Structure 1
Amino acid sequence: MAITWRDEERCRSVDTPSVLVLATSSFWSAGWLVSWIPEAGLRADYVRPFRGDPIPSPLTYAGLVILAGATPVYADSDAPWQPGARSLVASAVEAGIPTLGICYGAQLIAAACGGHVSTMPDGPEIGLLPVRLSAAAARDPLLAATTAISPAVLWHHDEVTRLPAGGVLLASTSACAHQAFRIGESAWGLQFHPEATISCVRQWARAYAHDIWAMGSTPEDVVSAVRRGSGHLLSTWRPVIDRFLSIVIRRTGMDTPVVARTA
């Protein structure tokens, strides 16, 4: 299923509570979130600072989602909008606005709140890999119902190497200690990609073919593995996103939170 930025624009509505979606690259799209957010009864307001969009205050939004991106969070010279994005995230976390960061978004949350991000010393994690949940995940509002070891789509060269003070580790892989974490009561970082569609993965595999070959695999093998696991991926990670959106909805005072789906 191909999902485009035009699809995202069509999901706007003026009558429903809104989630601010911070998109930091034209390459890394919102994937399944394009449909999942409006299906939850929320409006997605996309802001693209890499195109010159001003970064708004988060205080008028019911929730904040930060998508994957291409620029390292420590490379402000390549992305002069990043200090404003860090300020946005820090303000949202301080205000208790439900916040979800995916891949780059998770790294941005960590950096904005006092953590540390750097390049992975042994190279990137790419493809369908097992994610192991921590003991703390069993008490987490998003991950408590998730199987202790679950497959996820990973695609990153950088990683969070130190969580902010008070951060709660929720998941790891063998190569990356901080695959999921929570800051405070309402901000989550997911280094993996719950939003990834097959179309997304196919595009990523073409663009990062050199990295995949260097890992001893092929782009076709990576895409095929994700396709074979797509049903399990949806049944595992869509409920996690739905639980986040339910938290956003409860904050608005709406009567009917979204019900987590299994597919």
Structure 2
Amino acid sequence: MKPITIIKTGSTFPDIKTNHDDFETWIAKGLGHATRAIEIIDVTLHHPLPQPDSLAGAVITGSHDNVTDNPHYCSELESWIRRMVISEAPLLGICFGHQIIAKALGGVVDFHPVSLEVGTKEIQLLEPGQKDMLFQGMPDRFKAHVFHSQSIRKLPEKAVVLAKNSFEPYQAVRFAPRTWGVQFHPEADDAIAKCYLFHLADNIRKSGQSLNQLIAQLEKTPYAAALLEQFGRILSAME
């Protein structure tokens, strides 16, 4: 049985890691496939990327890096993403992962022209999303946690927008038949989301938003969380 690979592009804040583990743990738990091997490839530590045909599929994590800073691992990761798309091995990018897939395929990523998007927000599933296998069984509107100041500003060719909201037009995108990205965080629960709000407090205030209001608006996000489990089911169905 081929493994699922989690491409780790960074770590959470140290105190969150101590109390809640790290990005890859949240994603592995969300996938819900304990009987399948999950391997972690940390590109920030120069771990070699696997051959696409050796994988059941892969998830690219979020990161505290900015795509526009072109971290040292990005060139190799972008090349690998293009190989994954050609191989049609299922691939899901989250936040930074979503953005780096877009860049690898010819899109443009930059800072959002308004401010950062943080907290629990409503996501609207569009008609293509309602028909997409990754969003099977999802309602037309659902809540998700978001934490980002950069966004996809221009989509790659042939990309299909699956979900949006009033702040972010590309909350979910199908970049290729088996390649998806989501700007929101299906792996983060409300406790993790609250921790992030406190860490981003200065940036939140500078953006003119209320930290207390954002904390009060936090909700559980079961539908967003179900997305990772659905991705795991897709991997099993395709083997």
Q: Same fold (TM over 0.5)?
A: yes
Aligned residues between the structures: 229
Cα distance between partner residues in 2 of 1:43 and 1:163: 33
The one-character-per-residue Cα deviations of 1:25-48 (angstroms, maximum 9, x if unpaired) are 122613532323353532221111
In structure 2, the partner of 1:36 is 30
1:217 aligns with 2:210: yes
Post-superposition offset of 1:188: 0.7
In structure 2, the partner of 1:192 is 184
Cα distance between partner residues in 1 of 2:237 and 2:54: 15
Cα distance between partner residues in 2 of 1:198 and 1:54: 33
1:99 aligns with 2:84: no
1:244 aligns with 2:224: no
In structure 2, the partner of 1:21 is 6
Post-superposition offset of 1:152: 1.0
The one-character-per-residue Cα deviations of 1:78-111 (angstroms, maximum 9, x if unpaired) are x211101111111111110110000001001111
1:65 aligns with 2:63: no
Quickly say closer, same or farther: Cα 1:38–1:140, change in 2 above 3 A: closer
In structure 2, the partner of 1:204 is 196
Which of 31, 54, 61 aligns to 2:48? It is 54
In structure 1, the partner of 2:143 is 151
The one-character-per-residue Cα deviations of 1:106-159 (angstroms, maximum 9, x if unpaired) are 001111111111110111101111111111112111124211121111111111
Q: Which has the higher contact order (CA 8 A, sep 6+)?
A: 2
Cα distance between partner residues in 1 of 2:202 and 2:160: 34
Cα distance between partner residues in 2 of 1:114 and 1:95: 18
1:74 aligns with 2:54: no
Post-superposition offset of 1:189: 0.5
Q: What amino acid is aligned across from residue 68 of structure 2 in structure 1?
A: Y
Quickly say closer, same or farther: Cα 1:202–1:243, change in 2 above 3 A: same
Cα distance between partner residues in 1 of 2:192 and 2:55: 27
Partner of 2:114, secondary structure, is coil
Identity %: 25
Quickly say closer, same or farther: Cα 1:52–1:69, change in 2 above 3 A: same
Quickly say closer, same or farther: Cα 1:154–1:36, change in 2 above 3 A: closer
Which of 123, 126, 129 aligns to 1:134? It is 126
Quickly say closer, same or farther: Cα 1:170–1:136, change in 2 above 3 A: same
Partner of 1:177, secondary structure, is coil
Cα distance between partner residues in 1 of 2:26 and 2:124: 23
Cα distance between partner residues in 1 of 2:8 and 2:149: 19
Give structure 1 stretches of 5+ with no counterpart: 1-15, 253-263
Quickly say closer, same or farther: Cα 1:185–1:149, change in 2 above 3 A: same
Give structure 2 stretches of 5+ with no counterpart: 13-21
The one-character-per-residue Cα deviations of 1:222-262 (angstroms, maximum 9, x if unpaired) are 34432xx21xx12x12332222111111222xxxxxxxxxx
Cα distance between partner residues in 2 of 1:118 and 1:112: 14
In structure 1, the partner of 2:154 is 162
Is the Cα contact below 8 Å between 1:22 and 1:66 reproduced in 2?
yes
Cα distance between partner residues in 2 of 1:207 and 1:170: 30
- More divergent stretch after superposition (238-247 vs 31-40): 31-40
TM-score w.r.t. structure 1 length? 0.81
The one-character-per-residue Cα deviations of 1:139-195 (angstroms, maximum 9, x if unpaired) are 111124211121111111111112111111011111211110102211111000011
